[in-house]
Structure 1
Amino acid sequence: MAKAKKQSFEESLAELEAIVERMESGELSLEASLEAFENGMKLSREAQSALSAAELKVQKLTEQQGELHLDDMDTDA
């Protein structure tokens, strides 16, 4: 089975906001709410991972001694 394409940070955040709105509406059944919560937690972890990777890149850039050099970091490892 092929891996699904990973969403961008912005796409994950938009989907997470939509999930929160649906859950706050009170219209979801218990089962649908649990499924939405599970999906929301997955999106939250992915977004946090993307933010952490961006923070590492910024930190690495600012720690260089006057040189702007950015090495690619593989966050999927």
Structure 2
Amino acid sequence: MENSLSLSFEEALTELESLVRKLEDGKLPLEEAVSAYERGTFLKSYCEEKLSTAKTKIDQINANSSEITLKPYAISNMSA
């Protein structure tokens, strides 16, 4: 198992998505399913931390700029 600390956000997310697909498929033996779930839980936390760090940096950049204002984006504006 690769050391997650060396993974980029995108690599961790890709691995997490793969684990979710395998778990949803329901064909993993119990021991592998438990290991996949444990790894997935770790990767979820890892990705959340990376996103939180990125948001903090963006907020700091915006706070230091008098010309840019932070506005919430409504998800309902996204088209399917």
Percent same amino acid at aligned positions?
36
Q: Deviations over 1:16-65 (max 9, x none)?
A: 00000111111111111110000001111110110000000000001114
2:14 is equivalent to residue 6 of structure 1: no
Question: Tell me, what secondary structure is at the counterpart of 1:45?
Answer: helix
TM-score for the superposition, normalised by structure 2:
0.73
2:57 is equivalent to residue 66 of structure 1: no
Structure 2 counterparts to residues 12-51 of structure 1, below 5 A: 12-51=12-51
TM-score for the superposition, normalised by structure 1:
0.76
How many corresponding residue pairs?
64
Structure 2 gaps of 5+ residues are 68-80
Q: Which runs of 4+ in 1 moved over 2 A?
A: none
- What value does the CA root-mean-square deviation take over the aligned residues? 1.5
Amino acid at match of 1:49: E
Structure 1 gaps of 5+ residues are 68-77
